[in-house]
Amino acid sequence: MPQLGESIAEAAIINFLAPPGTVVKADQDLIEVETNKATMTVTAPCAGRVGAYTVELNESYAVGAVLGQIEATVEEIERSGLILQVTGESVEADVEARPEAPAGAYRVQPTVRGLPVPANAAGASYLSPRLKARMSELGLHAADLAGIAGSGAAGRVTIEDFEKFIASLEKQKMSKASTMRVAVADAMRRSWTRPIATVGLPVQLDPLLAHRKASSPKPGPALYALRALAIALSENSAPAGRLVGKKVIHPSSIDVGFAVEAEDGVLVPVIRHADQKPLKELVSRYNELVELARERKLPADATGGSIATVTNYGTFGLIWATPIPLPEQTMVLGMGAGRRMPFWDETKNQFVPVLEAYLTLSFDHRVLDGGGAGRLLARIADLMRHPELL
């Protein structure tokens, strides 16, 4: 029963105009009906053969009621936009089409502008408000999500991915990370937001070892490197500048730190004005700071505020590494383990054994280019080959 007028709820059947079996055209009158207001006709929604009427004369039927069937071809049904009802082998369309449009007949955009979601609110780097809220609740950083393969658009980590990840962790043994570990993790994470590069250079240590043997008290190998770095930076401190926005912040004094391994972490005591005191005057202060660091009793004036750090990873037998500078520093100078290496001696015209170690310089590539880093490292190596200058 079609909608016959604005306020027509139902209509009574008063006459069948096309008996079952009649071949009818679309819009041909089929049934005469009577409403409160007038007598009207129900017309064929499509061309076809009248099958059967399923209503009775002089009875009232509500709008939307099925009145009967018309047998029509699939093409005709599709043409008229009606719903297919497959019954046995014949395909029939109800005389009264359902008020909803048929599936597939139209496609609407979900919003007025047709943009269902903001285009930037997707992708692996998108953290939803809910994800951020949960991470904050659990004290997690974006780096902690690295192990989750996101199932969202373009690899986005959805809240479901996150909760599954958290649930999976609970099945494993967990221990509380030390305050030191958390602090180191935080520093490394912040530092890693920059593009960090590393350059390396071998340096012969024989003159340095000879100098050390003759000295009293004996400076540690890292102190030679520290002093060489301080002198090199005093000649040109720009490479140790920090880039903040469009400005380079130059160091105000050559304060250099050095890495000391402590339980479950690393401490970085600082030697102030390392460019202004000769090596031999730094030895006792250096040794004192190493001890204080191991006891974790560094005074406030011996930590923080340094412009670069020296790390002697050679003490672990490592010959090469790419240390990460502290987040507030632009560079870290690394020193590998010394090894006996064959060296071609031009004067003797033969190989001679030398003690050689790699120096590495890891730096913020935004501030420093490979050439600048290479020149700085070459100057440091040069100074270390001439320890009497330190």
Partner 1 sequence: MSITYLEAIREAQAVALRDDPRVFIYGQDVGAFGGAFKATKNLAREFPGRVFDAPISEDAMVGMAVGAAVEGLRPIVEMQFADFSTAGFNQIVNQAATLFWRTQVPCSMTVRLPFGGTSGSGPFHSQSLEAIYAHYPGLIVLTPATVEDAYSMLLEAVAIDDPVIFCEHKFLYYHLKAEKLPSEALPVGKARIAREGRDLTIVAYSAMVHEALAAAAELVPEGWEIEVVDLRSVKPLDTDTIMASVARTGRLLCVGEAWPWGGVTAEVIARVATEGFGLLDVPPQRLNAKDTPVPYHPNLWAAHRPAARAITDAARKMLRL
Q: Which residues bind partner 1 (CB under 8 A)?
A: 2-3, 6-7, 9-10, 36, 62-65, 81, 97, 99-101, 103, 105-108, 110-112, 116-118, 121-122, 128-134, 152-153, 156, 158-160
- The CA-based diameter of the chain, rounded to the nearest angstrom, is 126
Is residue 227 within 8 A of residue 390, CB to CB? The reply is: yes
Residue 136 or 276: the one with the smaller Cβ distance to partner 1 is: 136
Least distance (Å) between residue 35 CB and partner 1 = 12
Residue 62 or 182: the one with the smaller Cβ distance to partner 1 is: 62
| Rounded CA separation 251/234 (Å) | 10
Is residue 174 within 8 A of residue 166, CB to CB? The reply is: no
Least distance (Å) between residue 7 CB and partner 1 = 4
Least distance (Å) between residue 125 CB and partner 1 = 14
Is residue 256 within 8 A of residue 307, CB to CB? The reply is: yes
Residue 125 or 179: the one with the smaller Cβ distance to partner 1 is: 125
Alpha helices in 295-385 (DSSP H): 370-385
Is residue 200 within 8 A of residue 358, CB to CB? The reply is: yes
Tokens 């009621």 sit on residue: 65
Residue 45 or 314: the one with the smaller Cβ distance to partner 1 is: 45
Residue 134 or 285: the one with the smaller Cβ distance to partner 1 is: 134
Please name every residue paired with 357 in a beta bridge, in sequence order, or none if there are none: 203
| Rounded CA separation 140/210 (Å) | 50
Least distance (Å) between residue 28 CB and partner 1 = 19
Least distance (Å) between residue 137 CB and partner 1 = 9
Least distance (Å) between residue 114 CB and partner 1 = 11
Residue 160 or 345: the one with the smaller Cβ distance to partner 1 is: 160
Per DSSP, the three-state class of 300 is: helix
Tokens 């005469």 sit on residue: 32
